[in-house]
Amino acid sequence: MDTISLIIASILILIPIFISYKEHLGLEKEIIVSILRAIVQLLVVGYILDLIFGLKNPICTIILILIMMINAAINTRKRGQGIKNVVSISFVSMAVGTIITMTILVLSGAIKFVPNEIIPVAGMVISNSMVAIGLSYRNLNNNFKNKREEVEVKLSLGADIKEASKDILRDSIKIAIIPTIDSAKTLGIVSLPGMMTGLILGGTSPLIAIKFQIMVTFMILSSSSISTMLATYICYKDFFNERKQLKI
């Protein structure tokens, strides 16, 4: 794709901006900022990846993955407004999910610990975990507001905060993971997976491409589930004060 084609294709971004303006969604600024950030980040990361792939240094690879996780954790802050230490909670949860998933993939021989395999796979793991955690935070905030009376009744009857919040926690985790599950259900029928299609177009055997895509689906489901569950169970206590009363 040449620069002229990219500029013409960029007209597409005017569509969501127009819809947001027409429907008074108030997302125009957020859309523009997200696009500008994406362009700058892709330019910077593209050259950094080219350098790291050439160095093949495991320390540089780990540092880049840490930077990715920190940025993803910071990005969940808006969804988790009001939650104390939300960035730290998100980072720890994503780190645990990513480490478990990547360790299993490396030890099984599914991927090698080299930058051109580790970094793209880690990126998919972290980004999907970030989205799932953000959904869980938003649902926690909404449900603790909407179901305040229900929680307080349970507390008044002698339930501890975990028992009183059990249904909300389960619902938050479920809602966060369902998009990933639905995506797996329709994979290959509704959506053509990018990795598999790219490998096949690159001349890789269809069978090998299918195996890689199955691996990607498994790892995303696994890491999203682990990270979301950890983040949800760590942060829910912050909705209560030291006297076990809802803050909201």
Segment 167-184 shows an average pLDDT of 88
> What size, in residues, is the chain?
248
Tell me the pLDDT band of 194, cut-offs 50, 70 and 90: low
Segment 86-96 shows an average pLDDT of 94
Portion of the chain with pLDDT greater than 70, in percent: 92
Whether the pLDDT of residue 44 is over 80: the answer is: yes
Interaxial angle between packed helices 14-22 and 28-55, expressed in degrees from 0 to 180 and rounded to the nearest 10: 150
For 246, list phi and psi in degrees, rounded to 5.
Answer: -65, 135
Q: Report d(CA 169, CA 236) in Å as an integer.
A: 8
Whether the pLDDT of residue 248 is over 70: the answer is: no
Whether the pLDDT of residue 198 is over 70: the answer is: no
Q: Report d(CA 202, CA 197) in Å as an integer.
A: 8
Count Cβ atoms within 10 A of the Cβ of residue 203 and give its class: 0-12 exposed, 13-18 middle, 19 or more buried. exposed
Q: How many CB atoms lie within 10 A of CB 36?
A: 10
pTM metric for this prediction: 0.79
Which tokens belong to 159?
A: 């339930």
pLDDT on residue 233: 92
